[in-house]
Amino acid sequence: MSSIPLDKMSWPDTLGHEPRLEEDFQDFKAGLNEIEAETEANRCIHCYEAPCIQACPTAINIPQFIGRIGSGNTLGAAKTILESNILGHSCALSCPTEVLCEGACVYHHLNHKPIMIGRLQRFAVEHAYKTGAKFFVPGEPTGKRVALIGAGPASLACAHELRRLGHEATVYEKSALPGGLNSYGIAPYKMKTGVSLVEIEQIATLGVQFKFGEELGRTFQLSELVDSYNAVFLGLGLGPDSHPPIPGDDHPRVRGAVEFISQLKTLPSASLNWVRELRSALVVGGGNTALDACRELKGLGIPSVRVSYRRGQAEMSGYLHEFKSALQEGVEFHFNTVPVSFTSRTENSIQVEFSQTRITHDGSITVVPTGSFVEVELVLFATGQSNFSKSKNLFAEIPGLEFDRGKLKIDPNTGQTGNPKIFSGGDLTNGGKEVVNAVSDGKRAAHGIHEVLIHG
């Protein structure tokens, strides 16, 4: 799908036509051809109460779509997928299938390789997009208008479902492109920005309106949308990279991992020539963003890539299969270490001082100076992103919005917040999960909104 020319898209021409560094990356899981797909599909034994469906947050009818591929009905397979998950292409490429659908496949119990569900899903949806198939139409107009803040996966899924139910949907997005994490944040060896944009075109064709360059609290206030729309969906996701302050962290080569990934994906490679010249880099963190970042740096050909994590390997929140892949690709892991200072050696290199960490019996961490130093040319912090719980001004004068440990509180069945006109889902409410979780949340909220608008 990345071969579709960007100039065929209707989105603002912001991504441009110049080469981008993300194009240097090969897909880490190659697509299947027709014979491979049919052969693989015919291995599925169509389990009763299929565990793969139960493991999918969007409950795609996996045996049904696989059966359709096996019988040559690839468009029917794509319809089954997209009916449950309109971002089924990006989920096929970015989902941790090893721990979701494929992780639950009964073949594990038979000591056989699980069905390649993600790759079959990709095969079906790519076939549908190539043929230009359209599966959905807008519902009968209801005259109700819904504003959605943020154009990430949760809002996109919500807007798509709202249009199918006949409501108007207008998405307010501060960036120049839609997609949020899908367009700006997914590791390029998993999915490229152009793929995300093609997928969102399918949603836009249902009549979803997009307003770009619109930032909550800067160009508009929440109260204005609450006053002028019948309902509002908050799909803000997470804020910028964050890390604890460390002396010297204002060096220009000390950056946030999410910001760096977004630059690889969207900036012309000519403006990132310095990245191609890097010889060494350090990633700080032990989650999936850290694993994505270190694998990307290796993928760019940087000879020395280290990861520093303050706890042990067993405590890493990143997926084990991603950790193993990073090890195989030559990333060095330094557990129970933290950087404690950065000293500028030159404009392009930094001396990093490390300390050892010890976990005390109550689980807290103490830091023991060791006086060890490493010189690197780039430091990426992948230690989390800020959330909006402290941005009280964003939600000023709106009653009913409450946060619990950084997450916006919602009704788990409808996505409704404490304010009856405001709904939410995705990272703002779950603290940061997968794209597929955001899609599930967005769909749930659309039905919650529909219930209030039509029957409330």
* Residues at the contact surface with ligand SF4, assessed by CB under 6 A: 44-47, 50-52, 62-63, 66, 105-107, 115, 117
Q: Are 323 and 292 in contact (CB under 8 A)?
A: no
| Residue among 310, 331, 335, 309 nearest 322 (CA) | 331
Cβ distance to ligand SF4 smaller for residue 120 or 206: 120
Tell me how far, at minimum, the Cβ of 34 lies from ligand SF4, in Å: 19
Comparison of 41 and 401: residue with beta carbon closer to ligand SF4:
41
Place of tokens 């630059």: 263
Least Å distance, CB 333 to ligand SF4, is: 33
In whole angstroms, the minimum distance from the beta carbon of 54 to ligand SF4 comes to 9
CB of residue 120 vs ligand SF4: minimum separation in angstroms?
9
Task: Give long-range contacts, CB 8 A cutoff, 24+ apart: 123-126.
Answer: 123/31, 123/32, 123/37, 123/69, 123/74, 124/37, 124/65, 124/68, 124/69, 124/74, 124/77, 124/78, 124/81, 125/78, 125/81, 125/82, 125/88, 125/89, 125/92, 126/1, 126/31, 126/89
CB of 42 to ligand SF4, least distance (A): 11
Q: Which two tokens stand for residue 73?
A: 């009905």
For ligand SF4, the closer CB: 45 or 59: 45
Secondary structure in 3-state letters for 19-34: CEHHHHCCCCCCCCCH
Residue whose pair of structure tokens reads 């604890």 in the numeric block: 244
Give min distance, CB of 126 to ligand SF4, in A: 19
For ligand SF4, give the closer residue by CB, 62 or 254.
Answer: 62
Nearer to ligand SF4, 86 or 105 (CB): 105
DSSP H or E segment with residue 258: helix 257-266
Query: What do you get for the CA distance between the two ends of the chain, in Å?
Result: 42
CB nearer ligand SF4, residue 86 or residue 115: 115
Task: Work out the number of other CB atoms within 10 angstroms of the CB of residue 201.
Answer: 16
Sheet holding 168-173, edge to edge: 209-212, 168-173, 145-149, 231-234, 422-424
| Token pair belonging to 332 | 């060095």
CA–CA gap between residue 208 and residue 101 (Å, rounded)? 30
**In the bound complex, what is the minimum distance in angstroms from residue 28's beta carbon to ligand SF4?**
21
Q: How far is the CB of 39 from ligand SF4 (least distance, A)?
A: 14
Please identify, using beta-carbon distances, which residue of 100 and 300 lies nearer to ligand SF4: 100
Angle between helices 193-204 and 153-164 in degrees, nearest 10: 20
